[in-house]
């Protein structure tokens, strides 16, 4: 039916932005076959989940600490696809750079055209650009194939002090590349070089440099102060043309700093490709680099003074460092525990005891839904539950209360249709956190995906006493929402040991689990009932698969 409608509705002026856009178009005299083909193309683009894509244009580091290799690892860690254009091949290790072989500009141009003409690139990030002509090639390619954002890391001097771009490059940077950049990320030496050798000794100097570089043309500037003399903190200065923002963090004492600049710039590019605002992208990238350094401070690779660090620390965080943040996996929704303050009071339990026991019984994710708790007590309990969940490798979400989630650094929030909009929540929490949304209809589920949620909770599937006048959707309603959703789904509402099997036997691929309140917490033994639920779900999953 959708195809027939779109075929009738097609107009003559592509491109079209979305299905919603198509519905506003009027009937025209375009040939039927042309309208069908265009309609199907738009539907395909609208329905397929977009993969954020960064193209890095940089040099290859044989030691894999910086350059193209660092960009690939950083983008992978940030959850985006990364394609590459290699501008130079270097022979380098932890000691320094032993040789550089620039790639001919004609072949750089060929690489750029291959990627940009075929793949839908969101953001281009540049690193080592060894010649004037290569800079010109990049600028020309971006005119021919525009992208959402350009991140320029003006690589001129390596961590070990080796010069990677000579003075002849500076003019072309200032004249052609920086004016089209959305952000440029120089360290102190690079900022000094761009400004003709001015010395940067203080944070005020960094502010002045950021302003002067902004005057050259980039929309945003981040002057990195990792080498700032006599500074106890690592201070970066961000400037957007109006406001200066100092981004401070404690220094990590480590020799494993090779590739931090490349990694920060490519992480910013990755967050921009996901759709984050510029300042949020910078903040998340800076936090990621700091955490990676902290997790890598004791590794030893090579014999030189500047070792590489572990970009993919998240892969082992659950085992080696349960206090660090890790990526949300939709399978975490398998047995979703939702606490209730009234039930805890009825059975004489603290919320921390309830959460700990539920996790011991097999709960795979926890939502604190403490409607009767005062803010101070709620925050205190949330912090304690956060520690418990971290120790067991389980995500903690807060129901509705964005303020409490921020204050206790929870992994995310779950909100309802009448709560704060997802887009606003995302702005407050940043791209790192998990956002779940309660949905009863296909339209709500589709909107949750558009707005940037990570999963939806659908229900009530069955009648429940935990919410007054809660409209049930039944198994058919749950299935309809699942089929319409591009996000993973957890079923909620009146689910217990007796009916959990029926829910999961719907067999819809994106139905990842069940959320339980009463059947887990309004019982004499949370441990026993949670174990029963977990066993039923495991049996059902084995059969359904």
Read off the pLDDT of residues 226-277 as tens digits, 9 standing for 90 and up: 878 766 778 899 999 999 988 887 777 888 888 899 999 999 999 999 988 8
CATH number for 322-544 (one of 3.40.50.720, 3.30.420.40, 3.20.20.70, 3.40.50.300): it is 3.20.20.70
Cα angle 305-268-211, degrees, rounded to a multiple of 5: 90
User: Where are the domains positioned within the chain?
Assistant: 2-47, 53-311, 322-544
The strand pair at 335-338 and 511-516 is best described as parallel
Cα distances from 43 to residues 19, 30, 46, 192, in angstroms, run 6, 18, 5, 50
Placement of tokens 């708790």 in the chain: 373
pLDDT reported for residue 234: 81
Handedness of CA 354, 358, 360, 365 (dihedral sign): negative
Q: Which residues contact 242 (CB under 8 A, 6 or more apart)?
A: none
In DSSP terms, 280 is beta-bridged to: none
Question: 363: which 2 tokens?
Answer: 């709960």
Q: Are 167 and 190 in contact (CB under 8 A)?
A: no
Cα distances from 362 to residues 155, 381, 393, 494, in angstroms, run 49, 21, 12, 19
pLDDT reported for residue 12: 36
Show the beta-strand stretches assigned E in 268-341: 335-338
Question: 366: which 2 tokens?
Answer: 């926890």
Placement of tokens 């940067």 in the chain: 200
pLDDT reported for residue 37: 58
Instruction: Return the H-helix or E-strand segment holding 60.
Output: strand 53-61
User: In angstroms, how far is CA 42 from the centroid of its own chain?
Assistant: 26
Question: 292: which 2 tokens?
Answer: 């990676």
pLDDT reported for residue 306: 80
Q: Which residues contact 254 (CB under 8 A, 6 or more apart)?
A: 293, 296, 297, 309
Question: 93: which 2 tokens?
Answer: 């290790």
Q: Are 141 and 116 in contact (CB under 8 A)?
A: yes
Placement of tokens 């990627």 in the chain: 115
Q: Are 529 and 360 in contact (CB under 8 A)?
A: no
How is residue 402 annotated by DSSP? H
Question: 457: which 2 tokens?
Answer: 């909770």
CATH number for 53-311 (one of 3.40.30.10, 3.40.1190.20, 1.50.10.10, 3.60.20.10): it is 3.40.1190.20
Instruction: Return the H-helix or E-strand segment holding 41.
Output: helix 32-47
pLDDT reported for residue 23: 37
Placement of tokens 């409209």 in the chain: 471
**Closest-CA residue to 414 (of 453, 359, 375):** 453
- DSSP per-residue codes, 479-495: HHHHHH-SS-EEEESS-
Instruction: List the catalytic residues.
Output: 224, 257, 259-262
- Segments of the chain with pLDDT less than 50: 1-30, 42-43, 45-48, 159-160, 162-163, 316-325
pLDDT reported for residue 373: 76
Placement of tokens 């010649």 in the chain: 131
pLDDT reported for residue 354: 96
Question: 492: which 2 tokens?
Answer: 């909620």
CA distance 104 to 217: 28
What's 99-152 look like in SS3? EEEECCHHHHHHHHHHHHHHCCCCEEEECCCCCHHHHHHHHHHHHHCCCCEEEE
Q: Which residues contact 305 (CB under 8 A, 6 or more apart)?
A: 94, 95, 160, 255
Q: For the whole model, what pTM was predicted?
A: 0.57
How is residue 25 annotated by DSSP? P
pLDDT reported for residue 22: 41
Placement of tokens 């909107």 in the chain: 447
Handedness of CA 55, 174, 264, 436 (dihedral sign): negative
Handedness of CA 466, 468, 469, 470 (dihedral sign): negative
Q: Are 442 and 480 in contact (CB under 8 A)?
A: yes
Q: How many CA atoms, within 13 angstroms, populate the side-chain half-sphere of residue 223?
A: 31
Cα distances from 19 to residues 13, 26, 60, 275, 439, in angstroms, run 15, 14, 42, 20, 21
């Amino acid at each position: 039916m959708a195809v027939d409608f779109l075929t009738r509705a097609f107009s003559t002026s592509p491109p079209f932005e979305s299905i919603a856009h198509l519905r506003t178009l009027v009937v025209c005299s375009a040939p039927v076959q042309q309208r069908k083909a265009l309609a199907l193309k738009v539907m395909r683009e609208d329905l397929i989940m977009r993969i954020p894509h960064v193209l890095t244009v940089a040099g290859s580091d044989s030691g894999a600490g910086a350059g193209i290799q660092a960009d690939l690892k950083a983008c992978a860690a940030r959850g985006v696809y990364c394609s590459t254009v290699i501008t130079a091949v270097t022979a380098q290790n932890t000691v320094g750079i032993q040789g550089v072989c620039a790639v001919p500009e004609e072949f750089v141009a060929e690489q750029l055209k291959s990627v940009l003409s075929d793949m839908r690139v969101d953001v281009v990030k540049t690193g080592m650009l060894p010649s004037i002509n290569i800079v010109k090639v990049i600028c020309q390619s971006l005119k021919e194939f525009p992208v959402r954002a350009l991140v320029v890391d003006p690589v001129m001097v390596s961590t070990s002090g080796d010069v990677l771009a000579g003075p002849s490059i500076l003019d072309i940077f200032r004249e052609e590349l920086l004016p089209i950049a959305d952000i440029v990320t120089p360290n102190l030496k690079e900022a000094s070089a761009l400004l003709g050798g001015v010395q940067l000794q203080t944070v005020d100097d960094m502010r002045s440099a950021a302003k002067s570089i902004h005057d050259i043309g980039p929309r945003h500037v981040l002057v990195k102060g990792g080498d700032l003399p006599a500074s106890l903190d690592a201070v970066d200065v961000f400037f957007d043309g109006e406001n200066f923002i100092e981004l401070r963090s404690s220094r990590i004492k480590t020799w494993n700093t090779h590739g931090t600049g490349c990694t920060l710039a490519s992480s910013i590019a990755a967050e921009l490709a996901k759709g984050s605002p510029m300042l949020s992208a910078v903040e998340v990238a800076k936090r990621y680099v700091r955490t990676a350094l902290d997790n890598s401070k004791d590794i030893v690779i090579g014999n030189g003074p500047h070792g590489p660090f572990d970009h993919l620390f998240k892969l082992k965080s659950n085992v080696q460092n349960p206090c660090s943040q890790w990526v949300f996996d939709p399978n975490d929704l398998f047995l979703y525990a939702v606490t209730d303050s009234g039930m805890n009071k009825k059975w004489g339990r603290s919320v921390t005891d309830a959460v700990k026991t539920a996790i011991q019984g097999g709960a795979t994710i926890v939502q604190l839904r403490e409607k009767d708790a005062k803010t101070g007590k709620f925050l205190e309990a949330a912090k304690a539950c956060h520690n418990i969940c971290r120790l067991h490798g389980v995500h903690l979400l807060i129901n509705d209360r964005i303020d409490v989630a921020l204050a206790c650094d929870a992994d995310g929030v779950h909100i309802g249709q009448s709560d704060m909009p997802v887009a606003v929540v995302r702005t407050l929490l940043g791209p790192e956190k998990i956002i779940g949304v309660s949905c009863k209809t296909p339209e709500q589920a589709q909107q949750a995906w558009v707005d940037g949620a990570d999963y939806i909770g659908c229900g009530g599937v069955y009648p429940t006493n935990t919410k007054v006048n809660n409209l049930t959707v039944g198994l058919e309603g749950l299935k309809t929402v699942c089929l319409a959703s591009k996000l993973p789904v957890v079923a909620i509402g009146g689910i217990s040991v007796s009916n959990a099997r029926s829910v999961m036997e719907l067999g819809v691929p994106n139905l990842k689990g069940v959320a339980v309140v009463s059947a887990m917490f309004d019982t004499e033994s949370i441990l026993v009932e949670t174990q029963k639920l977990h066993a039923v779900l495991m049996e059902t999953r084995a059969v359904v698969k």
